[in-house]
Amino acid sequence: MGLLQELERKLNEQVATPEEARRANGELRAMMRERGNYFPEYEAEAQKVLKGVGYTTGPLSQHVIADIADHLGFTLHHVGDLPHSTRSVTDLKNHRIYLTQSQRQDHDPRSVLLQALGHYVLGHETPKNYGDFLAQRVATNYFAAALLLPENATLEFLQKAKAAKEIAVEDIRDAFAVSYETAAHRFTNLATKHLGITTHFQKTHQSGIIYKAYENDGVAFPQDHTGAIEGQPACKAWTSRAVFDVPDKFSAYSQYTDTVSGTYWCTARTERSAAGEFSLSIGVPYQHVKWFRGRETTARATSTCPDPNCCKRPPASLASSWAGNAWPSARAHSHLLAAMPPGAFPGVDETEVYAFLEAHSG
Ligand SMILES: [Zn+2]
């Protein structure tokens, strides 16, 4: 009986439910907030690698990245038949990293490679559960960002911008040749620890659903009863939603928003990907806005969320003519509601990966 119970426990552990995924996500979020999203251990590993290849300053070129792979003892192989469920596959037996040749991809190929190397440098083992899998992904994302935007070089850049009261995410993006999302997220790593600025970051789909969120500035993200933020609709008054209606897609859109937890200044941009249009935004409490470009904006909004009368409940005039006369068919958010795929690497077909490695290792 004991054996059977243990077996069942093991099986349950491997099939991560949405609840388990949410819980794991919540724990990670709390840990990141506590540390101001700064992880000195990953910064140190990234610096060691950069030193090993003689990097000094500026964006990380393809050439330097190839040097990094070489320095760590890996060869790179671009193939046309990478398993569908993967972005890269690492052969730890022969120290090879397989990447796709395809041009059609949402992810910066440099990040994909650096994340693959991150698992090796950070000594990751096969994840024991979904929480482990998530934590590893956070770690490799951090490691890759710490290489693309090295701590010292990025900090020097940010301190100059702060002194000139001209901090702008798009300047970080341009100086280090990364996406706006990568630049915005990297800003959250360094802002609190080094600049003394508390902040929040948000990635929101054009439908209003939040995909990624981080805060240590007290902004009140919408949450479900489990504390999960991902999958919740953002307030329609927030910058992350308002930016979709701004015709100028070339400049960042900035706005002051009065919320239930204070006044925030936020700046956002939209980026298009295969999954649709997303807004990426960075916000700070009013007291910190003096360091940012765009603080002179006259755009202002008021959000009383989570009060349902803010933006969730239809206005009385509309409700009186339509309540009871509408039958919408909902589009399911399958990525958030479906049970997490089973297996050591959720969503990855292991047979496909092993067969691929077998075929390529000759
Ligand atoms: Zn609202």
Distance spanning both ends of the chain, measured CA to CA: 46
Does the pLDDT value for residue 336 go beyond 60?
Answer: no
Ligand 1: distance of its center to the CA of 236 in Å?
A: 5
Question: What is the average pLDDT across 45-52?
Answer: 97
Residues 103 and 172 in one domain: no
Phi–psi pair at 149, nearest 5 degrees: -125, 80
User: What pLDDT does residue 331 have?
Assistant: 64
Nearest to 25 by CA among 174, 210, 219: 210
pLDDT band at 40 (very low <50, low <70, confident <90, very high): very high
Residues 218 and 131 in one domain: no
Helix (H, G, I), strand (E, B) or coil at 135: helix
- Does 7 map to a domain? no
Residues 110 and 223 in one domain: no
Residues 170 and 302 in one domain: yes
- Both tokens of 229, joined, read 């933020």
Ligand 1: distance of its center to the CA of 278 in Å?
A: 19
> How would you class 68 by CB atoms within 10 Å of its CB: exposed for 0-12, middle for 13-18, buried for 19 or more?
buried
User: What pLDDT does residue 340 have?
Assistant: 54
Question: What is the Cα Rg of the chain in Å?
Answer: 22
Ligand 1: distance of its center to the CA of 181 in Å?
A: 24
Question: What is the average pLDDT across 277-306?
Answer: 97
The total number of structural domains in the chain stands at 2
- Does 346 map to a domain? no
> How would you class 228 by CB atoms within 10 Å of its CB: exposed for 0-12, middle for 13-18, buried for 19 or more?
buried
CATH of the domain at 303: 3.30.450
DSSP 159-192: HHHHHTT-B-HHHHHHHHT--HHHHHHHHHHHHH
Q: Specify the DSSP class assigned to residue 324.
A: T
- Over the chain, what is the mean pLDDT? 89
Residues 142 and 44 in one domain: yes
Most confident of 21-25, 38-42, 129-133: 38-42
Question: What is the average pLDDT across 168-177?
Answer: 96
User: What pLDDT does residue 35 have?
Assistant: 96
User: What pLDDT does residue 72 have?
Assistant: 96
- Both tokens of 60, joined, read 């990380």
Nearest to 239 by CA among 273, 280, 276: 280
Q: Are 210 and 224 in contact (CB under 8 A)?
A: no
Q: Are 286 and 263 in contact (CB under 8 A)?
A: yes
Each residue of 81-109: b (16+ CB within 10 Å) or e? ebbeebbbbbbeeeebbbbbeeeeeeebb
Ligand 1: distance of its center to the CA of 234 in Å?
A: 7
Q: Give the CB-side neighbour count of residue 212, counting CA atoms within 13 A.
A: 14
Ligand 1: distance of its center to the CA of 245 in Å?
A: 16
Ligand 1: distance of its center to the CA of 221 in Å?
A: 10
CA dist 278 and 243 (Å) reads 10
User: What pLDDT does residue 203 have?
Assistant: 95
pLDDT band at 326 (very low <50, low <70, confident <90, very high): confident
User: What pLDDT does residue 338 have?
Assistant: 45
Residues 76 and 177 in one domain: no
pLDDT tens for each residue of 176-186 = 999 999 999 99
Tell which of 148, 174, 202 closes a domain: 148
Does the pLDDT value for residue 122 go beyond 90?
Answer: yes
**Which of 105-119, 295-309, 320-334 is predicted with the least confidence, judged by mean pLDDT?**
320-334
Tell which of 148, 176, 193 closes a domain: 148
pLDDT tens for each residue of 270-289 = 998 888 899 999 999 999 99
Ligand 1: distance of its center to the CA of 279 in Å?
A: 17
CA dist 132 and 214 (Å) reads 19
User: What pLDDT does residue 337 have?
Assistant: 44
Residues 121 and 87 in one domain: yes
CATH of the domain at 121: 1.10.10.2910
pLDDT band at 103 (very low <50, low <70, confident <90, very high): low
Ligand 1: distance of its center to the CA of 252 in Å?
A: 22
Question: What is the average pLDDT across 163-181?
Answer: 96
- Distances from the Cα of 26 to the Cαs of 22, 167, 184, 260, 336, in angstroms? 6, 30, 21, 22, 14
Residues 169 and 306 in one domain: yes
Residues 180 and 235 in one domain: yes
- Does 297 map to a domain? yes
Does the pLDDT value for residue 109 go beyond 90?
Answer: no
- Does 156 map to a domain? no
Does the pLDDT value for residue 107 go beyond 80?
Answer: no
Q: Where are the beta strands (DSSP E) in 274-342?
A: 276-285, 300-302
- pTM, to two decimals: 0.88
Helix (H, G, I), strand (E, B) or coil at 317: helix
Ligand 1: distance of its center to the CA of 203 in Å?
A: 17
User: What pLDDT does residue 116 have?
Assistant: 93
Tell which of 148, 178, 203 closes a domain: 148
Of all residues in the chain, what percent carry a pLDDT higher than 70? 92
Task: Collect all residues with Cβ–Cβ distance below 8 Å to 251 and sequence separation of at least 6.
Answer: none
User: What pLDDT does residue 14 have?
Assistant: 55
Residues 77 and 186 in one domain: no
Q: Note down the domain range covering 298.
A: 165-320
User: What pLDDT does residue 330 have?
Assistant: 67
Q: Are 79 and 360 in contact (CB under 8 A)?
A: yes
